[in-house]
A = this chain, B = another copy of it.
Amino acid sequence: MKPGRSTAPQVGRGAKVRAAVHAATLAELLDKGYAALSVENVAQRAGVHKTTVYRGWKDRDSLLTKALAEHIAMDIPVPDTGAIETDLRALARSLVQTFTSPTGQAILAAMFTGAAHLPEIAAARRHVFGDRLARVESVVTRAIERGELVRDTDPAELFRTLAAPIYLRLLITADPVDEATADQAVRVTLAAARAGALRSAPDGEPATG
């Protein structure tokens, strides 16, 4: 798993370097905070030359944005359990696990404190969320096919409803965030979906999608 192993083919080596650099970025962030994050430190920790990092990443904000997006995408797999309730529970619990881990806490801190004023970080927040949204759409599509959700259920609205109470607790109220939080988010989301409150065009207007 070492990034420098020379027997790996080119494409594998590129992927390994990327993984090592992203891991080093998050580790530096976790250890030293955003202010001390630098291309030099990341390169040293990843065991690669500084110029290698500059070839693949423009600067430290590019490192941070890409590392965050990839870490969160990998950390939250798309479940396919055969039922919407267990799929959503797996998703919500993954989200909770991600953001209550030490790395997740460092990610939240980076996204919302020192680095939060950067347009790149605001873009990363949207990007990370949008990326997860695209990946989770199949969960809703399959539930519609199984007849568990009405046809015009809006995947984006459903996923926002699922994630919102978790982020609220993490960012605002500082209430505990655990499996019960995840399961409660599922209950609320499913109740809303079943009542028709998560349709593409609410208020009884015909859906145009």
Q: Is A195 an interface residue (CB 8 A)?
A: yes
Within 8 A of B (CB), among A166-204: 167-169, 171-175, 183-184, 187-188, 190-192, 194-198, 202-203
Chain B residues lying within 8 Å of A184, measured Cβ to Cβ, are 157, 197, 202
**Of B126, B175, B195, the contact of A172 (CB 8 Å cutoff):** B126
- From the candidates B112, B188, B196, name the one contacting A198 in the complex (CB within 8 A): B188
Q: How many residues of A contact B (CB 8 A)?
A: 38
Q: What residues of chain B lie closer than 8 Å to A169, measured between beta carbons?
A: 160
In the bound complex, CA of A169 to CA of B112 (Å): 14
Q: How far is the CA of A172 from the CA of B124 in the complex (A)?
A: 9
Given the complex of chains A and B, what is the CA–CA distance between A50 and B166 in angstroms? 42
**Pair A160/B173 contact, Cβ less than 8 Å:** yes
Asked if A161 contacts B174 (CB within 8 A), the reply is no
A57 within 8 A of B: no
Binding site for B on A (CB under 8 A): 112-114, 116-117, 122, 125-126, 129-130, 157, 160-161, 163-165, 167-169, 171-175, 183-184, 187-188, 190-192, 194-198, 202-203
Q: List the B side residues contacting A165 at CB < 8 Å.
A: 160-161, 164
- B residues in contact with A194, CB < 8 Å: 191, 195
Q: Which residue in chain B gives the minimum CB-CB distance to A111?
A: B172
Query: In the assembly, what is the distance between CA of A168 and CA of B163, in Å?
Result: 8
Task: Offer 22 A-B interface pairs, CB within 8 angstroms, sorted by A.
Answer: A112-B112, A116-B116, A125-B172, A126-B172, A130-B173, A157-B184, A160-B168, A160-B173, A161-B188, A164-B165, A164-B167, A167-B172, A183-B202, A184-B197, A187-B195, A187-B197, A188-B197, A191-B192, A191-B194, A191-B195, A192-B192, A194-B195
Q: Are B168 and A126 in contact (CB under 8 A)?
A: no
Return the chain B residue nearest A157 by Cβ. B184
- Given the complex, which residues of B lie within 8 Å of A173, measured CB to CB? 125-126, 129-130, 160
**Given A112-B112, A129-B173, A160-B173: 7 more A-B contacts, CB < 8 Å:** A125-B174, A126-B172, A160-B165, A160-B169, A183-B203, A187-B195, A187-B197
